[in-house]
Structure 1
Amino acid sequence: MLVLSSPSGAGKTTISRKLLEQEADLHMSVSVTTRPMRKGEVEGRDYYFVSRAQFDAMVDADELLEHATVFENSYGTPAAPVEATLNAGEDVLFDVDWQGAQQMRTRRRSDIASVFILPPSTEELARRLTTRGTDTPEVVAKRMAKAADEISHYGEYDYVVVNDDVDRCLAEVRAILHAERVRADRLPGLADFVGGLTEVYRAP
């Protein structure tokens, strides 16, 4: 379970998309949200768009690995598809905020590798938020005001990378993923394999 977090505009969505293009055994966890669908978004690919009542029912039924409310809209990660992918022996990528990452660590700490992506500067973060053209100036101001609080949680993550160059940042996140995949405690059947290697050799 590879968790990516960052303040809005720092680049985690771009890194996530590029990562999925290059890693065949990595699958994006699709969140549910109560916010309206934006132009160009697709149901089931970007999010599952649900009503407030539906979202609250999922929370009450403990169907979400994590959930949080950001800028008056709620987001959450359905547990069932994540479990199915992990049971199939493949990895899952999560694009969540620090609150979601915190909840996931509480529930599944041994399965998670978490990465916090930092912007190179506050000026660059403001520029990215402004030029992407998806938010009003008022929303951009809210996101910038919230960024300092989000960044303050960087110490709760296993890894921290600075996105001053997308390709370099992507390479660092891929290196983290590859290293985490070969951790001894994540290799099923390793003990039996090593046991076979350490048996005394008997010539035929």
Structure 2
Amino acid sequence: MHIEILVEDSSGETLLEVVLPKLLGEYGNPHTWSMHSYKGIGRIPRNLKGSADPAKRILLDQLPRLLQGYGRTPGIDAVVVVLDTDRRSCVDFLNELKALAAGCHPAPNTLFRLAIEEVEAWYLGDRQALIDAYPRAKADVLNRYVQDSVCGTWELLADAIYPGGSAAIKKAGWPLPGQVKHEWAERIGPLLDPDRNVSPSFGKLRDGLRRLVAEAV
């Protein structure tokens, strides 16, 4: 089975590069995938004929064009789209995404998976991996977190493990936020245990991908 995977930013791609083999097996044995990261999430266009500039690489702006292209391309068995919900309603956002895919003709086999509120929820879902990566993480901050809540997730993680916390990152400004998120993906991602992770949204990614490849057998 070959899967095309779309993710909204490069730190998410870094994370998925180490997580996917844990879920799908070694690349090419037997499944293959291609990863595509974008430069932000954007918004769902009002119609499937939107004229967004492909060069800007904003994921939702490009999604109708991408899905329709995949639907016409032989050899692509499924498309997986991984997004943060941010402050959106998970249910409403997922329904909008499914409606977009249903309007594509032909539509590829598409799986949407959402991190609630941000992908950092998946790091917080595996406390052991997080502590192994950052042994000096502040337990009092981590203990305040309610799994998959909308609470300023990346800021809470930063307050637990980054010197000076989220305030220091915000004060420094770009590109530090992106650099820090890449570091988290590189340090925590390889230590994540998919079956130990208590994040419900990570569980949906894990189970959805496993089900996808099982159905292809």
Answer with 1 or 2: which has the greater Rg: 1
TM-score bin (small chain)? 0.3 to 0.5
Structure with bigger RCO (C-alpha 8 Å, 6+ apart) = 1
How high is the TM-score relative to the length of structure 2? 0.37
How high is the TM-score relative to the length of structure 1? 0.38
